[in-house]
A and B are shown apart, each in its own frame.
Chain A
Amino acid sequence: MADEKKKKAHSCRNKLLTGGVSRYGRSAMYERTATYKKKWTVVKKEKVKTPAFVEKQIGGDKNGGKRLVRVKRSPRYYPTDELPPRKRSRKKPFCEHKRNLRATITPGTVLILVAGRYKGKRVVFLKQLASGLLLVTGPMKVNGVPMRRINQIYCIASKTKVDISKVELPDRLTDEYFKKKKLRKPKHQEGEIFDEAKEEYTVSDERKEDQLKVDRQLLPIVKAVPHMKGYLQSPFFLSTKQYPHEMAF
């Protein structure tokens, strides 16, 4: 094992053929990797023995003062029938899905939003969140787009990039942070049929603070590039004879 680490590791001596079959079987591989030469040094791991019972103190009179309690509790249910083993489904839950990101979208890319409340706006891409959605910001001072999540399928990635390497994003910007909060509807009173005074959405102080923090870092970077601020301010539009499939962004 130590020899291997000293020299550079050899490329795989085996080959995978079609059908999931290896070119060389076990005995052939034994010879090829010279396993007979290898010296196996076994390091005995010390088994840490955990006690099965633990002494616990009990208050109160006339109880004996302490009890021996099992560390691992015995199961409260023993099944009478053996159930057939569950097959491993290849369907993964959403949280385990593989997130893709278009190669053209990198931190600092100017994206053109094509759908949603802010369609037509040009925004700066900050990072991709764990759910796969993109975190973008206007910056807010420039075009009124706050820090927001959008799906990359609703963005056109332009070739223009802003240098974001020195921008520090607050750690609390996660999917949970941006998730839509359900507004409480006031409970129906006896005799009142119509909803009165629905709870309105207000921007939290957290959001305002984080928005300022990020924008303060971004604005000087944006202003440093000539015409960039004007570019982010102006909306994207198509005019006559402009065909998106013929345009470069």
Chain B
Amino acid sequence: MAAPVAFQLLHANTTYVNARFVKVFTKYVEIGRVAFIAHGKDSGKLCVIIDIVDQNRALVDGPCTGVLRQALNFKRLHLTPFKIKIPHSVKTKIVRKKFDEGEILKKWQETTWAKKIEIKKKRAALSDFDRFKLMRAKQARGRIIRTQVNKLKKEAAKK
């Protein structure tokens, strides 16, 4: 009777998916969590959660990304997979030091999330001429791919 036993062993925050125990939440709001500000004046910037004010707000600081130390609502923050080790309510100087040591910005630029944001920005800034050139480039690429696929199909059909 393996199944009932497995269910009893369920921990908090885990579910059983595809024959595996999977954690439901992996990124937590905690001191040192690097967050992405999604709305407001500083939208698009990274910040570090320094302290929790109450149920809705966190004290946040982003000396390396131009975010002033302030209280932000959690609803504005999207948690990133990055964390730095700081005690609560540290000085901005220490936050800057730990942020640079952890190379958070560099790691952030390498994530797909940050890359997608960049792509969106580039697409929005394309001029009409750029859009035309993009269309032609896509057509040319498609043409190359299609000719190769058709070639392979033909060879496969012959066999």
A positions within 8 Å CB-CB of B = 110, 112, 122, 156, 158-160, 227-228, 230-231, 234, 236, 246-249
- Apart from A110-B128, A159-B128, A228-B129: 5 A-B pairs, beta carbons within 8 A: A112-B128, A159-B127, A160-B127, A231-B132, A231-B133
Q: Chain B 106-140 against A: per-residue CB contact (8 Å), 1 yes, 0 no?
A: 00000000000000000011111100110010000
Contact of A248 (CB < 8 Å), options: B125, B133, B136 = B125
Chain A residues contacting B126 (CB-CB under 8 Å) are 248
Task: Identify whether the interface residues of B are mostly helix, strand, loop, or mixed.
Answer: helix
Name the contact of A158 in the complex, choosing from B128, B133, B136 (C-beta under 8 A).
B128
* Interface of B toward A, CB cutoff 8 Å: 124-129, 132-133, 136
Query: Which of A156, A231, A246, A247 meets B129, CB within 8 Å?
Result: A231
B9 to chain A, nearest CB (A): 48
Instruction: Select one of B124, B125, B136 contacting A227, CB under 8 A.
Output: B136
A110 to chain B: which residues have CB within 8 Å? Answer: 128-129
How far apart are B133's CB and chain A's nearest CB, in angstroms? 5
**Contacting residues, chain B, for A248 (C-beta < 8 A):** 124-127
Q: A227-B136, A230-B136 are in contact. Are A160 and B129 (CB under 8 A)?
A: yes
With most chain B CB atoms within 10 A of its CB, the pick from A156, A246, A249 is: A249
Measured CB to CB, the closest approach of chain B to A225, in angstroms, equals 9
**Which residues of A lie under 8 Å from residue B124 when comparing CB positions?**
246-248
Tell me, in angstroms, the Cα distance from A159 to B133 when the chains sit together: 14
User: Which chain B residue lies CB-closest to A228?
Assistant: B129
Contact A159 B136 (CB under 8 A): no
Among residues of A, the one whose C-beta sits closest to the C-beta of B132 is: A231
- Kindly list chain B residues whose C-beta atoms are within 8 Å of the C-beta of A230: 132, 136
Report how far A230 CA is from B128 CA in the complex, Å.
13
Across-interface contacts of A249 in B (CB, < 8 A) = 127-128
What are the residues of chain B within 8 A of A112 when measuring CB–CB? Answer: 128
Residues of chain B within 8 A of A227, CB atoms compared: 129, 132-133, 136
Closest Cβ neighbor of A242 among chain B residues? B131
Residues of chain B within 8 A (CB-CB) of A228 are: 129
In the complex, which residues of chain A have a beta carbon less than 8 angstroms from the beta carbon of B133?
A: 227, 231
Smallest beta-carbon distance B136→chain A, Å: 7
Give A246 Cβ to nearest chain B Cβ, in Å.
Answer: 7
Q: Is the CB of A234 within 8 A of B132?
A: yes
Docked pose: A228 CA to B126 CA in angstroms = 16
Nearest CB in chain A: distance from B123 CB, A: 10
How many Å lie between the Cα of A246 and that of B123 in the bound state?
Answer: 11
Most buried by B among A228, A234, A247: A247
Residue of B nearest to A236 (CB): B128
Chain A contacts for B129, CB-based, 8 A: 110, 158-160, 227-228, 231
A228 CA to B132 CA, complexed, in Å: 10
Question: Complex: how many Å from CA A227 to CA B140?
Answer: 13
18 pairs from A and B in contact (CB 8 Å cutoff): A110-B128, A112-B128, A156-B128, A158-B127, A158-B128, A159-B128, A159-B129, A160-B127, A160-B128, A227-B136, A230-B132, A231-B132, A231-B133, A236-B128, A247-B124, A248-B127, A249-B127, A249-B128
Kindly list chain A residues whose C-beta atoms are within 8 Å of the C-beta of B132.
227, 230-231, 234
* Bound complex: CA A249 to CA B127 (Å): 5
| Residue of B with least CB distance to A234 | B132
Nearest B residue (CB) for A157: B128
Chain B residue nearest in CB terms to A230: B136
**Who on chain A is nearest to B137 by CB?**
A227
Bound CA span A103–B129, Å: 19
User: How far, in Å, is B129 (CB) from chain A's closest CB?
Assistant: 4
Q: A248–B125 Cα gap in the complex (Å)?
A: 6
How many angstroms between the C-alpha atoms of A234 and B132 in the bound complex? 9
